[in-house]
Amino acid sequence: MKPIICISGISGSGKTTLVEKLIPELISRGYRVASVKHDAHRFEIDKEGKDSWRHKQAGSRTVVLASPEKVAVIRDLDRDMGIDELVDRYVEDVDIVVAEGFKGALNPKVEVWRKAASEAPVLLKDPHLLAVATDDKEIDLPVPRIDINDVKGVADLIEEKVLRGAAMEYFGRVNLYVNGRRIPMKDFVQDFVAGAILGMASSLKGVEGPIRELSLRIEEHMPTKLQSKEE
């Protein structure tokens, strides 16, 4: 499952403003980003009279608009789909999904809250809440408080709490082959090896952005003098 961070909060809290700053910040760090916005109200993306609109009005449940540069899908739904299902069905080839809304999702969240919007944050009892991005510098919170304009601070938190954890899970299965034979390892040994190698590789010069693929091959070269003795 792709890593998902929900930027949640009540209407008018500033979620969209944070999301539009967060996406380029994560991209600048080397991540491929997708975004999903939940809208509780009915919306239309087609213009009346356009060919795709006419297809939909004719009764088509799914309309696909395709061009050499992009593709769009307009599809009727019988229910409100959750963020995990939406991402699983429609999102590919990204490192993280930034979801706006989805207060009830069981995914990591950052709540956006401004003093002028409401009396207090609404997600403080949510066990998936990582932090509150707010303009209130004095409020006491059970989770980290980040300045609402500190997009780098929000990105740092997402890297630490969401992306690194996902990377460890992705690299958590290690296969060891010695002389072509697979050697079984217990789970805790695999986790230890994966963590050590991933941590070491991430700190090396020349490694830029997130590690999406890593392979390590060790070949033992016997000194020439020893080779001649064994022969």
Contact at 8 Å (CB) between 107 and 83?
A: yes
What is the residue range of 154's domain? 4-40+81-165
Strand partners, 96: 33
pLDDT for position 123:
94
The answer to whether position 69 is within a domain reads no
User: Do 142 and 205 sit in the same domain of this protein?
Assistant: no
Tens-binned pLDDT, residue by residue, of the chain (231 aa): 689 999 999 988 899 999 999 999 999 988 999 999 887 666 666 677 777 777 777 877 777 878 888 877 877 777 878 888 888 888 888 889 999 989 999 999 999 999 888 888 999 999 999 999 999 988 899 999 999 999 999 999 999 888 876 655 554 567 777 777 778 878 778 778 877 887 888 888 888 777 766 777 777 665 555 555 555
pLDDT for position 169:
54
Q: What is the CATH number of the domain that holds 91?
A: 3.40.50.300
Nearest one of 148, 151, 155 to 115, comparing CA atoms:
148
The answer to whether position 108 is within a domain reads yes
User: Do 203 and 99 sit in the same domain of this protein?
Assistant: no
Number of domains present in the structure of the chain: 2
Structural domain ending residue among the three candidates 165, 189, 214:
165
pLDDT for position 200:
85
pLDDT for position 116:
86
The answer to whether position 35 is within a domain reads yes
User: Do 99 and 148 sit in the same domain of this protein?
Assistant: yes
User: Do 175 and 161 sit in the same domain of this protein?
Assistant: no
User: Do 113 and 179 sit in the same domain of this protein?
Assistant: no
Structural domain ending residue among the three candidates 165, 193, 218:
165
Could you tell me the pTM of the whole model?
A: 0.68
Between vectors from CA 95 to CA 86 and to CA 85, what angle results, nearest 5°? Answer: 15
Q: In angstroms, how far apart are the furthest CA atoms of the chain? A: 85
The answer to whether position 29 is within a domain reads yes
pLDDT for position 142:
93
The answer to whether position 185 is within a domain reads yes
Distance CA 71, CA 88 (A): 17
User: Do 19 and 129 sit in the same domain of this protein?
Assistant: yes
SS3 195: helix
User: Do 216 and 110 sit in the same domain of this protein?
Assistant: no
User: Do 153 and 192 sit in the same domain of this protein?
Assistant: no
Distance CA 72, CA 113 (A): 32
Distance CA 209, CA 223 (A): 38
The answer to whether position 161 is within a domain reads yes
Between vectors from CA 149 to CA 148 and to CA 150, what angle results, nearest 5°? Answer: 95
Structural domain ending residue among the three candidates 143, 165, 187:
165
The answer to whether position 31 is within a domain reads yes
